[in-house]
């Protein structure tokens, strides 16, 4: 792609990411989709990723939103996380007992992740794996449904995370991605989230290339506002149900 004016490049990237958001991410998951459909999806994703990289290289980068919008987002986070912790406390307590009875080890799992402005923090999850990285029996149930993520509401309450935002990664992966993926560091303009724009489009964990998730993360960072966060929250339950059914069928 030849050098483009930043505004022009941003416009092209925005159109590409929106097109992917509506069609491409779900395409590989549809049963019966032929190889040509998967190849077309991969090509479209690669093209959009290239456009995003070119736009960022030409000087297009996410801007921090107005302090008032940031205050609204943080207020929603505090309210949602507090209510979530109260309402899910009985569920978390029950799961903690089941985890303790199922396997040896701590009920909670702590892992260093990179948050806003590149600052590390301790992400909290319900333990779903053995020390040798094998998924526990309870973990096979917790992980597809995202129940192991419930303690992260505490991370939201204390300000390490937001309810909605790009998923946080481990430090060594962040270092690797910042070296190989243009614009990756721009994800850290906002707090990382429990759910996000990439996740509701089926891009969870290591199931899809990080370049695909980066495309949606950067679109979110460029365009986020309280209305989009509410939309993502409204779509998260259906996305979790969709992904849970798919994973349990595998």
Domain ranges (residues) in the chain: 1-60, 64-249
pTM: 0.74
pLDDT at 43: 57
pLDDT at 27: 40
Over the stretch 55-102, which tens digit does the pLDDT of each residue have? Answer: 544 444 566 667 888 898 999 999 999 999 999 999 999 999 999 999
H and E: helices and strands count for the chain: 8, 4
Q: Do 114 and 171 form a contact (C-beta atoms < 8 A)?
A: yes
Question: Among 7-16, 40-49, 100-109, 220-229, which stretch is predicted with the lowest mean pLDDT?
Answer: 7-16
Over the stretch 165-222, which tens digit does the pLDDT of each residue have? Answer: 999 999 999 999 999 988 899 999 999 999 999 988 888 766 678 888 898 999 999 8
Environment class of residue 172 by beta-carbon count within 10 Å: exposed (0-12), middle (13-18) or buried (19+)?
A: exposed
């Amino acid at each position: 792609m030849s050098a483009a004016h930043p505004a022009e490049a941003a416009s092209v990237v925005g159109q590409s990411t929106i097109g992917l958001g509506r069609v491409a991410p779900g395409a590989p998951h549809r049963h019966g989709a032929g190889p040509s459909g998967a190849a077309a999806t991969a090509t479209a994703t690669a093209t959009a990723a290239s456009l995003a990289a070119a736009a960022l290289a030409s000087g297009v980068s996410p801007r921090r939103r107005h302090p008032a919008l940031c205050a609204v987002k943080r207020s929603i986070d505090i309210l949602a996380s507090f209510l979530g912790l109260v309402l899910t406390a009985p569920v978390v307590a029950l799961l903690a007992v089941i985890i303790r009875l199922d396997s040896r080890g701590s009920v909670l799992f702590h892992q260093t992740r990179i948050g806003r402005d590149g600052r590390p923090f301790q992400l909290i999850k319900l333990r779903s794996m053995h020390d040798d990285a094998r998924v526990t029996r309870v973990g096979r149930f917790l992980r597809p449904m995202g129940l192991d993520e419930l303690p992260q509401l505490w991370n939201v309450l204390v300000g390490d995370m937001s309810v909605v935002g790009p998923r946080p990664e481990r430090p060594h992966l962040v270092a690797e991605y910042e070296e190989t993926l243009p614009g990756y560091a721009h994800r850290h303009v906002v707090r990382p989230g429990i759910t996000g724009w990439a996740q509701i489009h089926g891009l969870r964990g290591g199931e899809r290339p990080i370049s695909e998730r980066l495309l949606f993360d950067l679109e979110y960072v460029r365009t986020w506002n309280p209305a989009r966060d509410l939309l993502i929250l409204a779509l998260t339950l259906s996305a979790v149900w969709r992904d849970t059914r798919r994973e349990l069928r595998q």
